[in-house]
Amino acid sequence: MKKLYEIARKNIKNAYAPYSKFRVSAALKLKNGEVYKGVNVENAAYGLCNCAERSALFAAYSNGVRKDDIDSLLVYTDKEHFVSPCGACRQVISELMPEDAKIILANNKGEFQEIINKELLPYGFTSEDL
C-alpha cells in the first residue's frame, strides 16, 4: 500500500485542474504487481472532464488489462480528508474491477481507508439490467 501511495502522491503533479484546483491521482495495481497511473484532467466544457480513477482504468484497459487482472485501486488527494470516487467513477469501477477488489482512499497525511468494490455502489447498474 505504501508503494501505491508514493506512486499516486508523486503523480498528482500531472493532474490538470486549472478550474477546480482539486487535484486527484490514482494508482491501479494489477495482480502481477504492475501499476497504472491516472490523474484528473479538466476541460472548460466541464462535462468533458475525466477523473483520475477512470483515467487509470482506461489506460489499463487500453493496454489489454481486464477485470480479473486487477487487484486494487488507490485514490489520493493532497487534502487532509479522504475523498471517495464520484458516481460516474463508481459505476465504471463496479464494471471494470472485480467485486472483491480493494479501493483504498488516501490523504496527504499518509492515512488510508479501505473498502471493497462491491460496497462502493450498492444497487449499481449492471449488464444484467440491459
Residue 128 has pLDDT above 90, yes or no: no
Catalytic residues: 53
Kindly list the distances between the CA atom of residue 6 and the CA atoms of 11, 27, 71, 75, in Å, as whole numbers in the listed order: 8, 9, 17, 11
pLDDT bin (cut points 50, 70, 90) of residue 116 is very high
Task: Return the CATH number of 2-123, one of 1.10.287.3510, 3.10.180.10, 3.40.50.150, 3.40.140.10.
Answer: 3.40.140.10
**Domain spans of the chain?**
2-123
8 A C-beta contact, residue 115 and residue 103 = yes
pLDDT bin (cut points 50, 70, 90) of residue 17 is very high
* Average pLDDT in the chain: 96
- Distance between CA 10 and CA 79 in Å, rounded? 14
Residue 1 has pLDDT above 90, yes or no: no
Instruction: Check residue 124 and give its pLDDT.
Output: 86
Instruction: Check residue 127 and give its pLDDT.
Output: 87
Average pLDDT over residues 47-65: 97
pLDDT bin (cut points 50, 70, 90) of residue 80 is very high
Burial of 1 (0-12, 13-18, 19+ CB in 10 A): middle
Alpha helices in the chain (DSSP H): 2-11, 52-62, 87-96, 117-120
Size of the chain in residues = 130
Instruction: Check residue 126 and give its pLDDT.
Output: 86
Average pLDDT over residues 77-82: 96
